Amino acid sequence: MGKPTGFLDYLRELPADRPPLERVTDWREFHHHLEEDKLRRQGARCMDCGVPFCHTGRLLSGMASGCPVNNLIPEWNDLVYRGLWREALDRLHRTNNFPEFTGRVCPAPCEGSCVLGINDPPVAIKSIECAITDRGWEEGWVNPQAPAVRTGKKVAVIGSGPAGLAAASQLNRAGHTVTVFERADRPGGLLMYGIPNMKLDKREVVLRRIELMEQEGIKFICNANVGENVEPQIFLKEFAATVICTGATEPRDLKVEGRGLKGIHLAMEFLTSNTQAVLAGGESPINARGKDVVVIGGGDTGTDCVGTSLRHGCKSLLQVEILPKPPAKRTPDNPWPEWPKVYRMDYGQEEAAARFGPDPRIYLTTVKRFLGDAAGQVKEIVTVEVKWEKNDKGQFVPVEQPGTEKVRPAQLVLLAMGFLGPEQAILRDMGVESDARSNVKAEHEKFSTNVKGVFAAGDCRRGQSLVVWAINEGRGAARECDRYLMGQTDLP
């Protein structure tokens, strides 16, 4: 701990984002870094707690508390304070294969459980992490690390999202020959097509890491759709082990009257087509320009739909959330170190407010039906307010409130209501069992399925979750896969 009084001497400071009305005119990342002297002061705010909760990585009340990959946060905060940036990067890479991803898109549960955050603003951990890794790339400290010896074992990884990339990276470090199969036209999974470019640059950040992994000896095969143009049996015949990392990509739909109208799309259709257009230098076929846009769902994916629609030049924007508006501060039933369930304006809502005035979200509301024109195009939605009440089983359910229906304009509707679990076809084809929630049945920390030599990690095993949890699971599955192949493992 370089400065024992740092948390008393310095206030929390975050880098200023690009102004909202400026950044909605392009697809470039909107975050900046603080100057080095300010970053070092932010590192000095870390208290080097006797019992640091920031890197515990536990689930409390169903949400992450502390860093799921157990980043050595107090150590690299102190190294940044002392100006030892390369050593800080080494500490960061010990636990996190891809800090350039988490430093941009992680909601920072570490900050929610920071001890300083009990009665002061927490340490700016996420900003420091992103600054460390970006400096490492800029200085040329991040280089290919191919294994010195190969084991002769071939391993397949199905899916190239954060879990698949983490598993592939770790297994390659152990000396196995790794091939990653991806059904999309580019590697990256969720990182490539599920998160828009202004949050996570595809060429400068995602593809840069993919290219480095290829230099380390990992092979990526794209347009490889298992069960269609790739026979599932090849994984059992040609590879010593397989890790399934296909994500939870089965979307939750809204099957109400009018759902079949044109102009109603699942969020991932919208986001994927947009990123493909950005990379190709063209225009997305699902476009919000000049339209009244309604986003149904209040999570990160909904926010990404908001930000993307604004960059298209939408006419108006409404975000519908069925849950109540969170409180401004922690409530007694949400104590530290739980993740603080409080009201926040994310980047998309900030941009919408700058463009149109208020926060675009309305709470305790759902869509009852869609109305179309003579051509079968959606033109309006009917919303209704709800109240959460207990049913006869003691479960809280939304109950429509009479007299609260409203008709609202909408020529583009985006469904961002989360995901139900992994797509089942590949699991059936490989004979892999699912649990009661339709996820791959594989015990946490073991990651092995009912099929010998087949492991599972990430959202397909645990359900829809954070990028940082996917990295945790990919690393864990790699460790157990290596143990299965070699009888022992040195992987963390």
Q: Do residue 127 and residue 163 come from a single domain?
A: no
Residue 57 CA to residue 371 CA, distance in Å, equals: 46
Q: Do residue 282 and residue 403 come from a single domain?
A: yes
Q: Which of 417, 434, 461 is the last residue of a domain?
A: 417
Residue 324 CA to residue 364 CA, distance in Å, equals: 5
Segment 340-350 mean pLDDT? 96
Domain membership of residue 54 (yes or no) is: yes
Q: What percentage of the chain reaches a pLDDT higher than 90?
A: 95
365's CB contacts (< 8 A; 6+ apart) are 320, 321, 322, 383, 384, 385, 386
Please say whether the beta carbons of 296 and 267 come within 8 A: no
Q: Do residue 104 and residue 237 come from a single domain?
A: no
Q: Do residue 163 and residue 294 come from a single domain?
A: no
Q: Tens of pLDDT along 195-223?
A: 999 999 999 999 999 999 999 999 999 99
What is the reported pLDDT for 4? 87
Q: In the predicted model, is pLDDT for residue 312 greater than 90?
A: yes
Q: In the predicted model, is pLDDT for residue 1 greater than 80?
A: no
Sign of the C-alpha dihedral, residues 53, 54, 59, 62?
A: positive
What is the reported pLDDT for 82? 96
Q: Do residue 192 and residue 68 come from a single domain?
A: no
- The whole domain housing 334 covers 253-417
Domain membership of residue 119 (yes or no) is: yes
pTM for the whole structure: 0.96
Q: How confident is the model at residue 62 (pLDDT cuts 50, 70, 90)?
A: confident
Q: Do residue 402 and residue 445 come from a single domain?
A: no
Specify the residue for token string 């493992």: 489
Domain membership of residue 389 (yes or no) is: yes
Residue 458 has phi, psi (to 5 degrees) of 85, -155
Domain membership of residue 296 (yes or no) is: yes
Please say whether the beta carbons of 283 and 317 come within 8 A: no
Residue from 281, 101, 61 nearest 200 by CA: 101
Q: How confident is the model at residue 48 (pLDDT cuts 50, 70, 90)?
A: confident
Q: Do residue 196 and residue 316 come from a single domain?
A: no
| Mean pLDDT across the chain | 96
Domain membership of residue 286 (yes or no) is: yes
For the chain, what is the domain count?
Answer: 3
Q: Do residue 448 and residue 425 come from a single domain?
A: yes
Q: Do residue 382 and residue 454 come from a single domain?
A: no
Please say whether the beta carbons of 42 and 79 come within 8 A: no
Domain membership of residue 311 (yes or no) is: yes
Helices (H), 54-124: 73-81, 85-95, 99-105, 109-112
Please say whether the beta carbons of 190 and 146 come within 8 A: no
Q: Do residue 79 and residue 183 come from a single domain?
A: no
Q: Which of 139, 166, 201 is the last residue of a domain?
A: 139
Residue 468 has phi, psi (to 5 degrees) of -65, -35
Domain membership of residue 149 (yes or no) is: no
CA distances from 392 to 324, 334, 388, 389, 397 (A): 22, 27, 13, 10, 10
Please say whether the beta carbons of 81 and 141 come within 8 A: no
Residue 114 sits in a domain of what CATH number? Answer: 1.10.1060.10
Q: Do residue 118 and residue 203 come from a single domain?
A: no
Q: Do residue 396 and residue 258 come from a single domain?
A: yes
Using DSSP's 3-state secondary structure scheme, residue 93 falls into helix
Q: Which of 139, 165, 182 is the last residue of a domain?
A: 139
Residue 410 sits in a domain of what CATH number? Answer: 3.50.50.60
